Chains A and B, each alone.
Chain A
């Protein structure tokens, strides 16, 4: 290993129960306890595609795998899933996906609007492959049904934890892109249907009117000792 910083590799090696895995069909032995991502690196792959935050937030490392004697496909994030004996794996770092342009400011938060942008939505026939492929275990087909009904709030609730990894789109026989459809639903919901915060608008107006300028300038001009005192004496609110 070129850099010893990836302690997961070093420490896993010490334990050294070795597993057989197959990367795109090719056999390797790796220590137990590695994730699919660190196992690939252990095998000598320097990742460019299929690797991002390495912490299950960015959706770069969507992965499909099965086992030597079990053809059923499984889905995971490579940065989170531990390798297992006889795993056959590859990554799906990119899958072609429709992404129309739209101007949120000129839209209405309705099902009709959604269908104008994504008319193919109605071709969903409920095979549920999308749900089965979601590494976040979201009910993808259910939020697709909600999208067809124009229920933007329901889509928002059910899709909120979507990482947009693309595995659902890769498995959709109709070529739908559930993660992009859900994104538009959430944006419309957030922009138009969530009640606005009165306090926020009021505060912005106060700042624009310069209401805090004098006090901040005072803090900037006072001695360090005085500033420290002001800091230590500030009341601390909990709720």
Chain B
């Protein structure tokens, strides 16, 4: 599916300006002058897209409608029908979610003496982690320092990040890189063994460590293998649908459902680590997403129901460059590394309109402005808007073969649709990428509720209201390891009381009092529902008879 003729016409203009653009660098917008473009064009500022929560610890806070529905959702279980004396798994540490954060937590919890159970909604390692391309930040170069990493992260977040969490993030970073290497992760290096860092947006020094553009794949397959080698018990296709507490107000386990048989199983755990990841598959404001099939905010819902406050519930990250063409890969992540290596973002006339290394919130807003206000975007045959990401410029700067060597995933993925990104640019537009906020937690991984720890995308505060590229994967391993260690320690000290699901009863009472039980869906969502139901005759038939009173539902 090469570009249609009218898009090729625009590409000729991009080629026409390329020589001149080799030396052209647009200034970055100073931190104090970012708000106007953000307020007008960033999706977080679309007022109608959010509403105030009516129940729970964040009552009164605004959050996207799609998330609010689930946070205020009805439980999937009837507490009166669950026999809490029939425990299927009795463990020290239950880790919910088996992406990068969950796997790291499991490994470290086990190293610290815990008997670990790792459970996951899909397969071990099916998570956003596997798809991260651009890399992991760590200030290890002699001309870099954790202080600069701290400053970049705070500034990228518009100074809304939690200083103590950021401190933990930047100080653990180099050790995370070494830890992963000791497990066999192969980082991009120079011949002498020193790291070959790339500069991503908002970094003042090249700081991002990559494994070509298969970084997440490389890291995740190594961690997955290590989990298996250490015989950590894991259960796949078994999402948690509710947390279990004890009569002392501590989190003490979870209820799992077997996705294929619907059988429930009960886990009693002295500590629980929530590592369920993000939210992209809720398609906030209808945006396409870079996220994994299972990214449906389940962990936020479960934690909220046991009383965990969330932070920055009203801010999502829209990655500036996601595929807008061809339609078959709409929303596919086009790594920031493409810009880090020198690709500029240009409009239909082949002109730059923003510095390609602006932080993500700013660049996404500039792209939306270019398309929606200035009319300088390109419209695809299926009415998607986009601008050009001029990848051929990379080989012009760094020499032929650079794109092929550093971006094999991108080359392959566009190549499958007959687009050669070494010769032609990619059409891109912002897509839903990351949940900036999440469960409120502290640097040791602890949440507000005893016994519950959090790590990875599900937690919030580390990135404030805008995350820098390369900091989310770092977050997974920094706080995955910390949560694993804390959970193991907690398990040694805690004495569990009698198990209870009273918090679910209490939750349903609050929902009822707010008049929401009838109008909110069941949550957690578990999976998006993409199956078309064109001719659901059987359901129609059953519904008719149900309404006619001919059959009864137990």
Cβ of B533: which chain A residues have Cβ within 8 Å of it?
1-2, 44
Q: Does A239 contact B (CB under 8 A)?
A: yes
Q: Which of A63-71, A118-126, A141-149, A230-238 contacts B (4 or more CB under 8 A)?
A: A230-238
Cβ of B204: which chain A residues have Cβ within 8 Å of it?
234-237
- CB-defined interface of A156-199 with B at 8 Å, one 1/0 digit per residue? 10001101100000000000000000011011111100111111
**Contact status of A219 and B150, CB under 8 A, knowing A54-B292, A136-B412:** yes
Q: Does B140 contact A (CB under 8 A)?
A: yes
The 9 closest A-B pairs by CB, nearest first: A187-B184, A195-B193, A5-B283, A231-B155, A2-B529, A190-B186, A46-B531, A190-B184, A1-B532
Q: Does B48 contact A (CB under 8 A)?
A: no
Indicate if the CB atoms of A7 and B206 lie closer than 8 Å: no
Q: Does A24 contact B (CB under 8 A)?
A: no
Q: How far is the CA of A137 from the CA of B413 in the complex (A)?
A: 12
Closest to A52 in B: B126
Q: How far is the CA of A137 from the CA of B411 in the complex (A)?
A: 13
Interface residues on A, range: 35 or more
Indicate if the CB atoms of A228 and B32 lie closer than 8 Å: yes
Q: Does A99 contact B (CB under 8 A)?
A: yes
Cβ of A49: which chain B residues have Cβ within 8 Å of it?
237, 260
Q: Does B382 contact A (CB under 8 A)?
A: yes
Q: How far is the CA of A42 from the CA of B194 in the complex (A)?
A: 49
Cβ of A238: which chain B residues have Cβ within 8 Å of it?
199, 206
Q: Which of B105-113, B327-335, B510-518 contacts A (4 or more CB under 8 A)?
A: B327-335
Q: 11 extra interchain contacts, Cβ-Cβ under 8 A, other than A7-B288, A219-B154, A234-B151?
A: A8-B328, A9-B530, A47-B293, A55-B290, A58-B217, A80-B413, A160-B211, A200-B174, A204-B178, A231-B31, A238-B199
Chain A residues 6 to 64 lying within 8 A of chain B, measured CB to CB, are: 6-9, 11-12, 14-15, 33-35, 38, 41-49, 51-58, 60
Indicate if the CB atoms of B192 and A195 lie closer than 8 Å: yes
On A, residues with C-beta under 8 Å from B are 1-9, 11-12, 14-15, 33-35, 38, 41-49, 51-58, 60, 80-82, 99, 101-104, 136-137, 156, 160-161, 163-164, 183-184, 186-191, 194-204, 207, 212, 215-216, 219-220, 224, 227-228, 230-232, 234-239
Q: Does B554 contact A (CB under 8 A)?
A: no
Q: How far is the CA of A160 from the CA of B186 in the complex (A)?
A: 9
Interface residues on B, range: 35 or more
Cβ of B218: which chain A residues have Cβ within 8 Å of it?
160
Indicate if the CB atoms of B189 and A212 lie closer than 8 Å: no
**Contact status of A41 and B530, CB under 8 A, knowing A48-B260, A187-B183:** yes
Indicate if the CB atoms of A187 and B139 lie closer than 8 Å: no
Cβ of B550: which chain A residues have Cβ within 8 Å of it?
none
Q: How far is the CA of A187 from the CA of B214 in the complex (A)?
A: 15
Indicate if the CB atoms of B409 and A56 lie closer than 8 Å: yes
Q: How far is the CA of A152 from the CA of B64 in the complex (A)?
A: 49
Chain B residues 294 to 340 lying within 8 A of chain A, measured CB to CB, are: 327-330, 332-333
On B, residues with C-beta under 8 Å from A are 1, 30-32, 122-123, 125-126, 128, 130-131, 138-143, 145-148, 150-152, 154-155, 159, 163-164, 167, 170-171, 174-175, 177-178, 181-187, 189, 191-195, 199, 204-206, 211-212, 214, 216-218, 221-222, 225-226, 228-231, 237, 259-260, 283, 286, 288, 290, 292-293, 327-330, 332-333, 382-383, 408-409, 412-413, 416, 527-534
Cβ of A7: which chain B residues have Cβ within 8 Å of it?
288, 327, 330, 382
Q: How far is the CA of A54 from the CA of B175 in the complex (A)?
A: 31
Closest to A231 in B: B155
Interchain nearest-CB distance for A121 vs B (Å): 17
Can you list 17 A-B pairs with a CB-CB distance of less than 8 A?
A: A3-B530, A52-B292, A57-B131, A101-B231, A104-B183, A184-B225, A197-B189, A200-B194, A202-B142, A203-B174, A219-B150, A219-B163, A227-B154, A231-B154, A234-B148, A234-B151, A237-B205
**Contact status of A220 and B167, CB under 8 A, knowing A54-B293, A57-B216:** yes
Indicate if the CB atoms of A53 and B416 lie closer than 8 Å: no
Cβ of B382: which chain A residues have Cβ within 8 Å of it?
7, 11, 14-15
Cβ of A232: which chain B residues have Cβ within 8 Å of it?
30-32
Q: How far is the CA of A53 from the CA of B151 in the complex (A)?
A: 33
Of B170, B206, B328, most A-chain CB atoms within 10 Å: B328
**Contact status of A199 and B141, CB under 8 A, knowing A43-B532, A183-B221, A236-B204:** yes
Q: How far is the CA of A184 from the CA of B226 in the complex (A)?
A: 10
**Contact status of A56 and B186, CB under 8 A, knowing A101-B231, A199-B195:** no
